[in-house]
Amino acid sequence: MIDLNQEIEDFDAYFFKRHGELPLDSTSEEYANKSYLKHEMFKAWKARAKAQAVPETHVLVEKSKISKWWQDADEPENFASTEEQLIALIAESEIYTDDMLVVEKHVQAQLSTQKLYCVYQITNKETGLAEIKVCKSKSEAEEILNNNAKWVAEKEADQYESMNAFFEEEERKSGAEQ
C-alpha cells in the first residue's frame, strides 16, 4: 500500500525546494503563517497520494505478468498463445469468404506459478486402489512413490509364495496319483 512516511519525505523535499526553510517567528518561537500553509499543502499532497494508491480490494500487476491467448469459441480445444499461432488457427479452420470463425480473446494476469507434483497414492492396501494426490514438494511425492513401490513388492512376494505353494501342491497331487 502507500508509505506515508515516504510521502512526507517527498513532500518536504518538494516544499523546501520551492519555498525554502520556514521562518521562525522570533516573538512567539513558532513558525510563521507558512507553517499553516505547509500543513494544508501536505494534507492535499497526502490526499492525492491516497487517491492514487491501490485499494485493499484490488491488485496492482506488472504489465509483464499479463498475458493473452485466443480460443476457438466452437471448438475450445483449439487455442493460440501468440498472434502467429492465432493466424495459423484461423487458417486451419478452413473458413471461406462467406464463413466466420468466432474466437475468444482471453487476457489474464499471471500472479504466481507453483510447481506441483502429481502421483497416484495407493489408498486401499487390500485392492490396490489408488487416488490422485497433488503434492507441493517433490520429496512428499517421492515418499508416496516409495510407499507404492513397497506395497507392490510385498504383493508380488505374496503372489510368488502363493504360486509356489500352488505348484508344490499340484506336484504332490500328481506324484500321489502315479
Q: Would you state the pLDDT for residue 117?
A: 95
Q: Would you state the pLDDT for residue 31?
A: 52
Q: Which residue has the cell 499532497?
A: 45
User: CA angle at residue 83 from 77 to 86, to 5 degrees?
Assistant: 35
User: 161 and 121 in one domain?
Assistant: yes
Domain range holding 122?
117-177
Which residue, 110, 35, 97, 116, is CA-closest to 65? 110
Q: Would you state the pLDDT for residue 48?
A: 72
Task: Identify which has the larger pLDDT, 131 or 165.
Answer: 131
User: 97 and 125 in one domain?
Assistant: no
CB burial of residue 22 (10 Å; 0-12, 13-18, 19+): middle
Residue 36 belongs to some domain of the structure: yes
Q: Would you state the pLDDT for residue 163?
A: 83
Which residue, 121, 65, 74, is CA-closest to 100? 74
Residue 74 belongs to some domain of the structure: yes
Q: Model's pTM, two decimal places?
A: 0.46
Which residue, 105, 110, 111, is CA-closest to 83? 105
Out of 5-9, 62-66, 158-162, pick the least confident. 5-9
How many folded domains does the chain comprise?
A: 3
- Kind plus residue range of the DSSP H or E element containing 59: none
